[in-house]
Copies of this chain bind each other. A is one copy, B any other.
Amino acid sequence: MASAGLSFENPVFAAYAAYSSVVLLKMFCVTGYTTITRFRVGVFANPEDVKGNKGAKVRLDNSDVERVRRLHRNDLENIPAFLAVGLLYVLTGPSSGVALWHFRVFAAARCLHTVAYLAGVQPWRFLCFTAGLVSTLSMTVQVLMAGAL
């Protein structure tokens, strides 16, 4: 079965690739939003960043910038793990429907997590974070069971 492998003809892989791209594009938006926020509040992390920029300051404690950076770090703690284990999960040959829901829940949870973090609304941020983690955990356990220590 060529269709169980890493090929865009395998619908599970094609879905994994698409949802992976979506969460990466979302993460790149956070990268851009950090820069936008730095210019908006006029706060940068390096002395060379404020040269010739009147009114800009070097500070590491602006609450708006640090909020975006905490959100970004939370992405780094979750998204590379999903990307790595998702690929291995595709190779366990899961049923298409179950696999799709793992990817959809993760992608939707991380997008809503971003909104909830920026808006500062709890417990929504926590619930989105948990939904993404549960999806990743479920795939990790299935990969562990298919593998051999």
Contacts and interface: CB of A to CB of B under 8 A. Distances in A.
Interface of A: 5-8, 11, 13-22, 24-25, 27-28, 31, 45-49, 51, 60, 66-67, 70, 72, 76-77, 80-81, 83-85, 87-88, 91-92, 120-122, 125, 133, 136-137, 140-141, 143-144, 146-149
Nearest to A120: B48
- Interface of A, helix, strand, loop or mixed by DSSP: helix
Contacts of A147: 8, 14-21
B140 A84 contact: no
Given A77-B76, A83-B84, A149 B22 contact: yes
Contact of A121 (B48, B72, B125, B144): B48
Interface centre among A14, A18, A120 (most CB of B within 10 A): A18
6 contacts: A15-B147, A20-B85, A21-B141, A22-B149, A48-B120, A80-B84
Nearest to A119: B48
B84 A20 contact: yes
Contact of A92 (B8, B48, B85): B8
Contact of A148 (B14, B120, B136): B14
B85 A24 contact: yes
